[in-house]
């Protein structure tokens, strides 16, 4: 009887092993693909994207500068701070690609104004650090692409009221930024410190220089925002100057385009910008997109000042005038 028990146990174990082996064989055998099923280009592209997605440590350039002034990357704290900005701005991929696209649209406006005023071309990346090239308002009230405070804007001649806020006028705001930076450069003798003062204020930088008994930006211990500020600008400059090197892939058709406009003079009040816009074959939204400094649906203009409004050339927008 014991023999039969053992025999039955052996047979049972053998059967279980056989079943398990068959299951393993089934799971590890690749099923043939159905010949009639084709992968779509989107499926293929997605597989490629998944396979290509990797996160790498980024080599810091051995020689890097801001406005011709070298960044001392040989110092360990400087290298770490710069490395942080390279990683953050490279691997925030959606934001990085948006910056590339917006830069293509707005840099051609900003660059000639910087050049005319003798401001190094690198300062166009300061505008990116400030606003991402968007017409935004900070919690402190800094406004527009160049993030200009109301008092500063008025000090430099911008009109700022309920009707009109020229901090949203990209050309005029760029001119104000240039004037501020030229004065800061004259005060500090350094474009790097001029850039830092754009964030912390000239008095703020001067106060820290006196308190810490050092002059150079890279020797100062500053608050987190200002301490990261120039490093972020430098990283943005390198990444946007060499986007493919940092994994950003696009074609010319992917870029945002600046829409050509013509200027019209307005020296009277405008009671209704919606009706006004229709006279030029556009709608209220399109008028405001190209003239964001017009802050209300009307223009008082009691002083009969002459304003230059931008009207997009025909053929770039389509809309239903009755909607």
β-sheet bridge partners, residue 264: 309
SS3 call for 308:
strand
Q: What is the pLDDT of residue 267?
A: 97
Long-range contacts of 74-80 (CB under 8 A, 24+ apart): 75/218, 78/218
pLDDT at 136: 98
Residues 144-160 pLDDT 10s: 999 999 999 999 999 99
Q: Closest by alpha carbon to 231, among 59, 99, 88?
A: 88
Residue 50, pLDDT above cutoff 70: no
Q: What is the largest CA-CA distance in the chain?
A: 117
pLDDT digits (tens, 9 = 90+) for 121-146: 999 999 999 999 999 999 999 999 99
Judge whether 161 and 153 are in contact, CB under 8 Å.
Answer: no
Mean pLDDT of 303-320: 92
Among the listed residues 312, 224, 235, the one whose alpha carbon sits nearest the alpha carbon of residue 71: 235
Rounded to the nearest integer, the mean pLDDT of the chain is 88
> Quick one: which of 160, 135, 154 has its CA closest to 145?
135
Place of tokens 């406006």: 109
Kindly state the average pLDDT of the residues 197-215: 98
CB atoms within 10 A of CB 166: 24
The rounded Cα 179 to chain-centroid distance in angstroms is 23
Task: Give yes or no for residue 56 having a pLDDT over 50.
Answer: yes
Angle in degrees, CA 72, 73, 78, rounded to 5: 90
Q: What does the pLDDT read at residue 52? A: 66
Cα separations (Å) of 16 from 3, 12, 23, 245, 277? 20, 6, 11, 56, 82
Q: In the predicted model, what is the mean pLDDT of residues 254-274?
A: 97
Alpha carbons 219 and 20: distance in angstroms, whole number:
68
Q: Using the 8-state DSSP alphabet, how is residue 62 labeled? A: S
Contact residues for 187 (Cβ-Cβ < 8 A; gap 6+): 194, 197, 202, 206
Is residue 43 pLDDT above 70, yes or no?
Answer: no
Cβ atoms of 322 and 269 within 8 Å: the answer is: no
H helices, E strands: number in the chain:
12, 4
Chain mean position to CA 250: 16
CA distances from 20 to 16, 53, 244 (A): 6, 37, 50
pTM: 0.83
Confidence of residue 53 (pLDDT cuts 50, 70, 90): confident
Tens-digit pLDDT profile for residues 84-119:
999 999 999 999 999 999 999 999 999 999 999 999
* E strand intervals along the chain: 65-66, 69-70, 261-266, 307-312
Q: Please state, in angstroms and rounded to a whole number, the distance separating the CA atoms of residues 58 and 87.
A: 7
What's the CA gap between 174 and 277, in Å, rounded?
A: 26
């Amino acid at each position: 009887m014991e023999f039969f028990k053992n025999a039955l146990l052996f047979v049972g174990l053998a059967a279980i092993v056989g079943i398990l082996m068959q299951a393993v064989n089934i799971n590890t055998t690749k099923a043939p693909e159905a010949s009639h099923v084709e992968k779509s280009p989107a499926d293929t592209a997605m597989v490629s994207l998944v396979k290509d997605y990797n996160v790498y440590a980024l080599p810091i350039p051995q020689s890097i500068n801001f406005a011709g002034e070298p960044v001392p990357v040989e110092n360990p704290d400087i290298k770490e701070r710069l490395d942080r900005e390279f990683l953050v701005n490279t691997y925030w991929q959606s934001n990085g690609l948006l910056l590339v696209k917006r830069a293509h649209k707005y840099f051609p406006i900003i660059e000639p104004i910087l050049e005319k005023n003798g401001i190094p071309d690198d300062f166009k990346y300061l505008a990116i650090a400030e606003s991402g090239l968007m017409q935004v308002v900070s919690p402190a009230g800094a406004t527009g692409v160049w993030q200009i405070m109301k008092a500063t804007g008025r000090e430099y001649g911008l009109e700022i009221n309920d009707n009109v806020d020229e901090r949203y006028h990209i050309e005029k705001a760029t001119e104000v930024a240039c004037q501020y930076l030229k004065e800061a450069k004259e005060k500090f003798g350094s474009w790097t410190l001029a850039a830092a003062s754009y964030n912390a204020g000239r008095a703020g930088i001067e106060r820290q220089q006196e308190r810490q008994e050092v002059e150079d930006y890279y020797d100062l211990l500053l608050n987190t925002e200002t301490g990261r500020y120039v490093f972020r600008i430098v990283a943005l400059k390198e990444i946007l100057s060499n986007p493919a090197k940092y994994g950003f892939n696009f074609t010319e058709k992917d870029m945002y385009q600046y829409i050509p406009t013509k200027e019209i003079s307005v020296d009277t009040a405008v009671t209704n910008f919606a009706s006004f816009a229709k006279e030029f074959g556009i709608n209220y939204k399109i008028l405001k997109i190209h003239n964001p400094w017009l802050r209300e649906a009307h223009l008082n203009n009691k002083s009969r000042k002459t304003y230059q409004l931008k009207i997009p050339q025909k053929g770039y927008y389509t809309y239903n005038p009755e909607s």
